[in-house]
Amino acid sequence: MTQAAFPKLLSSQIAFDIARTILDGFDKHYRLFRAISQAAKRHFEDGDWKVGQLAARERIDFYDRRVHECVTALEDEYDPSDLTDAVWREVKLHYIGMLSDHKQPELAETFFNSVCCNILHRTYFNNDFIFVRPVISTEYIDNAEATPTYRVYYPARDGLRFTLKRIITNFQLRATFADLTRDVEAVEARLKAMLGDQPLEPNHQIQVLASLFYRNKGAYLVGKGINGNHEYPFIVPILHNRKGELVLDTVLFDQEQITVLFSFTRAYFQVDMEVPSAYVQFLRTLLPKKPRSEIYTVLGLQKQGKALFYRDYLHHLRNSSDRFESAPGIRGLVMVVFALPSFPYVFKVIKDFFPPPKDTSRALIKEKYLLVKHHDRVGRMADTLEYSNVAFPRSRFAEALLAELKQHAPSMLEEDGDQIIIRHLYIERRMVPLNIYLAAAEAIDDDAAIERGIIEYGNAIKELMAANIFPGDMLYKNFGVTRHGRVVFYDYDEIEYISDCNFRTIPEAHNEEDEMAAEPWYPIAKNDVFPEQLGTFLLGNTKVRHFFMKHHADLLTAQFWQARKQRIIEGYVDDVFPYPQECRFSYQAGYQSTDQLSTQLSHQASNEVGDQTSTPTQLNIVNPAAQAA
Ligand SMILES: Nc1ncnc2c1ncn2[C@@H]1O[C@H](COP(=O)(O)OP(=O)(O)OP(=O)(O)O)[C@@H](O)[C@H]1O
């Protein structure tokens, strides 16, 4: 659609100028976003983890800053009396015209909505004024002028090994490989083993996304092979070894492992994309079960992910009839949590009052959730989407839930005809609360499931430790089990940095009276933690106790926590890999000890990153099968 289609609209200079200001605001945003993603390559090449991580964290706030700038500019520039409904309608039409040759039009639409929703009242949130229905298809936008999204290689022409090497060297990383021939041979061997006795068809080709995906200390090559009718996705992680040389760490073909790598529980990737919708389109062929919203999010375009999620949610609401109910499990002291049984997410509203022992505030809770948003979630903390003023159809709310919200969060509720508006909420992937998972396994005497749950629980805590995170409240009810069987933490209101905690042993009682006293006989300071007390809360069940003591008894000693804290303070942070250790080439070939690589990477990172964890991680693989699950 071009501006020529709207000749009479050009008469409104104000509308045109407003549309231009908003699009300039978006273009500035995307320019800065891309600059950070481009710089990720340099940071990776130089092993400059600290700078890279800081940039990744700052990038999360870019969008809100640009929206704010744009809103301020419009408010300063225009008199509200000039901004009639007719003008706002024209603004949208001019904007559509401006997007006709744009390379990120779907993102620009979302930016337009963000700016307008900051200025206009809720009653304007309809398709006349904002993009409720996208005008630009969010499918792949074919833009002939854009640089190609992926490169195609034909191994039949040059030979597989040569092709694989060329794929890597084409990225022109400015750092030396320790032994690229060795690594490429390892990739080739795995590829051949994966293809088995499939003959290489004439159409055999390898498609590789043109930009590497950077996250923490890893760069990931993302591609897929096509052989006859068979398509296979693959990922090659590239890391630095202890000498700062590059190594191909493994090649992943397994759909489950690839999905876990792109999980909602990890930090966002940094990828230089001119046409992001083309990347999303490519990735969808690798991750067919992932909604587009999650793919945008994992690429760092979290506002687009949020907007698409909301559209999916509205679509789901229109096509379902069940009611919102309290989420199964033990009620929270801080949050009212509810869910629609047919929808795989939960909605969390901060209560107005918190009963003892909770000593917190709405502002503090929001701060903790924000901390998690910016922190490396190392595959063990769920990402949250934060929304304001969400309208729900009243008829879809169970009466009991409405009563619960009115009792615990009245300031967050507004009733508006047949709608209920919730002023602030978080949305998060729904998981099976670990307490419910363990009880269900116990009920059917499934000891293997209990053991898996406990191993995963302990691993989650230990990986969070590696990320300098102390969950605060370690009860099973605060952890969920994902559909991949991973245990993930989701209750952030008591989270602290490990480096800020003081792990103590309970002092000896002076006498029997001390021991029998209801209150502790020893002084307790803020952030004091007594790990030996954890057993009281975690080990009530005999089977759980057995498996806990078998795999994670160390979590019950102050010495273990204190030692980990000390390592963090000294600058060592244990690496955790987002795929099982036994997949790694070095693990199988033994050409470099895992410990050597891991310690050195950690040391580099922590020396430069301070108390902030980096890395792809997978620590303490007690049971590799469970990890892979
Ligand atoms: N992502 C999720 N998936 C499934 N259930 C969840 C999820 N998040 C929360 N719940 C359910 O809601 C309950 C309360 O959630 P949450 O622990 O976040 O609230 P809280 O008020 O912070 O709790 P606490 O009183 O422990 O501080 C959980 O115990 C669980 O049963």
In whole angstroms, give the CA distance from residue 265 to residue 382: 5
Please, what's the b/e burial string for 168-196 (b: 16 or more CB within 10 A of its CB; e: otherwise)? beebebeeebbbbeebbebbbebbeeebe
624 pLDDT higher than 80: no
What confidence score (pLDDT) does residue 139 get?
Answer: 53
In whole angstroms, give the CA distance from residue 532 to residue 572: 25
Phi, psi of 346 (to 5 degrees): -120, 155
Would you call 27 exposed, middle or buried from its count of C-beta atoms within 10 A (0-12, 13-18, 19+)?
middle
Interacting residues of 622 by C-beta distance below 8 A, sequence separation 6+? 455, 458, 459, 551
The mean pLDDT of 398-408, rounded to a whole number, is: 95
Place of tokens 């792990």: 503
5 pLDDT higher than 60: no
Task: Return the top range by mean pLDDT from 83-92, 130-139, 260-269, 392-401.
Answer: 392-401
CA of residue 519 to ligand 1 center, whole Å: 28
pLDDT tens for 137-188 read: 555 556 666 778 999 999 988 899 999 999 999 999 999 999 999 999 999 9
pLDDT band at 405 (very low <50, low <70, confident <90, very high): very high
| Contact of 496 with 529, CB cutoff 8 Å | no
**3-state SS, residue 328:** coil
What confidence score (pLDDT) does residue 623 get?
Answer: 27
Report the atom number in ligand 1 closest to the C-alpha of 477: 29
Tokens linked to 265: 């529980």
Phi, psi of 237 (to 5 degrees): -75, 135
Q: Which of 435, 491, 496 to mutate to test the pocket of ligand 1 (most atoms within 8 A of CB)?
A: 491
What confidence score (pLDDT) does residue 603 get?
Answer: 33
Report the atom number in ligand 1 closest to the C-alpha of 493: 22
CA of residue 479 to ligand 1 center, whole Å: 8
The torsion region of residue 78 among left (phi > 0), alpha (psi -120 to 50) and beta comes to beta
pLDDT band at 81 (very low <50, low <70, confident <90, very high): confident
What confidence score (pLDDT) does residue 259 get?
Answer: 93
Higher pLDDT, 180 or 599: 180
Phi, psi of 529 (to 5 degrees): -130, 135
Report the atom number in ligand 1 closest to the C-alpha of 335: 21
What's at 486, amino acid-wise?
R
Report the atom number in ligand 1 closest to the C-alpha of 429: 1
Active site residue 61: no
Q: Which of 553, 431, 438, 567 is nearest to 489 (CA)?
A: 431
Q: Which of 461, 69, 61, 568 is nearest to 268 (CA)?
A: 61
Place of tokens 């204190």: 562
What confidence score (pLDDT) does residue 199 get?
Answer: 84
pLDDT tens for 210-264 read: 999 999 889 999 999 999 889 999 999 999 998 999 999 999 999 999 999 998 8
pLDDT band at 6 (very low <50, low <70, confident <90, very high): very low
Active-site position among 272, 376, 383, 473:
383
The mean pLDDT of 296-310, rounded to a whole number, is: 94
Would you call 357 exposed, middle or buried from its count of C-beta atoms within 10 A (0-12, 13-18, 19+)?
exposed
pLDDT band at 100 (very low <50, low <70, confident <90, very high): confident
* Residues with a CB atom less than 6 Å from ligand 1: 327, 329-330, 332-335, 337, 346, 348, 382, 428-431, 433, 473, 477-478, 480, 490-491, 493
What confidence score (pLDDT) does residue 86 get?
Answer: 84
Residue nearest to atom 19 of ligand 1 (CA): 332
What confidence score (pLDDT) does residue 132 get?
Answer: 75
What's at 188, amino acid-wise?
E
Residue positions in the annotated binding site?
A: 327-333, 348
Residue nearest to atom 20 of ligand 1 (CA): 332
What confidence score (pLDDT) does residue 618 get?
Answer: 30
Please, what's the b/e burial string for 234-264 (b: 16 or more CB within 10 A of its CB; e: otherwise)? bbbbbbbbbeeebbbbbbbbbeebbbbbbbb
pLDDT band at 574 (very low <50, low <70, confident <90, very high): low
Q: Which of 383, 490, 496 to mutate to test the pocket of ligand 1 (most atoms within 8 A of CB)?
A: 490
516 pLDDT higher than 60: yes
What confidence score (pLDDT) does residue 522 get?
Answer: 78
What confidence score (pLDDT) does residue 117 get?
Answer: 86
What's at 161, amino acid-wise?
R
Tokens linked to 535: 């057993």
13 pLDDT higher than 60: yes
What confidence score (pLDDT) does residue 620 get?
Answer: 26
DSSP category for residue 33? H
Residue nearest to atom 2 of ligand 1 (CA): 430
CA of residue 341 to ligand 1 center, whole Å: 16
Q: Which of 330, 337, 348, 380 to mutate to test the pocket of ligand 1 (most atoms within 8 A of CB)?
A: 337
ipTM for the predicted complex: 0.91
| Contact of 171 with 214, CB cutoff 8 Å | no
Share of the chain above pLDDT 70, in %: 88
588 pLDDT higher than 80: no
Tokens linked to 621: 């693989």
Residue nearest to atom 31 of ligand 1 (CA): 329
What confidence score (pLDDT) does residue 3 get?
Answer: 43
Residue positions in the annotated binding site for ATP?
A: 327-333, 348
Taking each continuous run of H as one helix and of E as one strand, the counts in the chain are 22, 19
C-alpha distances out from residue 213 to 29, 167, 247, Å: 20, 15, 16
pLDDT tens for 462-492 read: 999 988 999 999 999 999 999 989 999 999 9
369 pLDDT higher than 80: yes
What confidence score (pLDDT) does residue 457 get?
Answer: 98
Range of lowest pLDDT (105-114, 183-192, 377-386, 601-610) = 601-610
55 pLDDT higher than 70: yes
**3-state SS, residue 325:** strand
In whole angstroms, give the CA distance from residue 111 to residue 104: 11
What confidence score (pLDDT) does residue 590 get?
Answer: 59
Would you call 575 exposed, middle or buried from its count of C-beta atoms within 10 A (0-12, 13-18, 19+)?
buried
CA of residue 477 to ligand 1 center, whole Å: 7
pLDDT band at 302 (very low <50, low <70, confident <90, very high): very high
385 pLDDT higher than 60: yes
What confidence score (pLDDT) does residue 485 get?
Answer: 94
CA of residue 492 to ligand 1 center, whole Å: 10
9 pLDDT higher than 70: no
Place of tokens 């009242």: 121
* Average pLDDT of the residues of the chain: 86
Report the atom number in ligand 1 closest to the C-alpha of 491: 18
